């Protein structure tokens, strides 16, 4: 997604397996459950590609650490809220212009492998 002539490349964090309390039912609130997180960060990576300098790119390791810490300590009712919080963490880095977040909750529905929520947020979506 490009706007105002911005160049956007992508960084993917794929299949980040975490455990957290998530759900509305009592049995879901007792024990941590698996969630699988996929994140795509949209940013202009040209400068980093030219300079080979870590300071010129998005620190995706720091973003991953912040996501892991938040998810591990979270206790949301809805997968939608968990996805929203992950997007907020990603967009704290001003270089990230857009974040696509997909959170899967394996086994949430009987006879279905997984249920997933997929959201897209931009810097403009974040509260100021």
Q: Which domains does the chain show, CATH number per domain? A: 9-125 (3.30.1130.10)
Does the structure show a pLDDT above 70 at 71? yes
Active site residue 10: no
Cα–Cα distance, 47 to 118 (Å, whole number) = 29
Q: Among residues of the chain, what percentage have pLDDT more than 90?
A: 87
Is-contact 81 93, C-beta < 8 A?
A: no
Q: What is the pLDDT of residue 6?
A: 66
Span 27-65, pLDDT tens digits: 899 999 999 999 999 999 999 999 999 999 999 999 999
Name beta bridge partners: 101: 39, 119
**Model pTM score:** 0.92
State the pLDDT confidence band at 83, using cuts at 50, 70 and 90: very high
Residue-wise burial string across 81-105, b where 16 or more C-beta atoms lie within 10 A, e elsewhere: ebbbbbbbbbbebebbbbbbbbbbb
Give me the catalytic one of 10, 65, 105, 128: 105
Cα–Cα distance, 77 to 22 (Å, whole number) = 5
């Amino acid at each position: 997604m490009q706007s105002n002539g911005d160049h956007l490349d992508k960084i993917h964090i794929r299949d980040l397996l975490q455990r957290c309390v998530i759900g509305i039912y009592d049995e879901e609130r007792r024990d941590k459950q698996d969630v699988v997180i996929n994140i795509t960060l949209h940013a202009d990576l040209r400068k980093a590609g030219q300079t080979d300098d870590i300071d010129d790119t998005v620190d995706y390791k720091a973003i991953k650490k912040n996501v892991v810490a938040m998810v591990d300590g979270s206790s949301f009712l809805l997968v939608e809220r968990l996805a929203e919080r992950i997007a907020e963490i990603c967009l704290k880095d001003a270089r990230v212009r857009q974040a696509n977040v997909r959170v899967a909750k394996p086994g949430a529905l009987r006879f279905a492998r997984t249920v997933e929520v997929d959201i897209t947020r931009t810097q403009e979506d974040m509260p100021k």
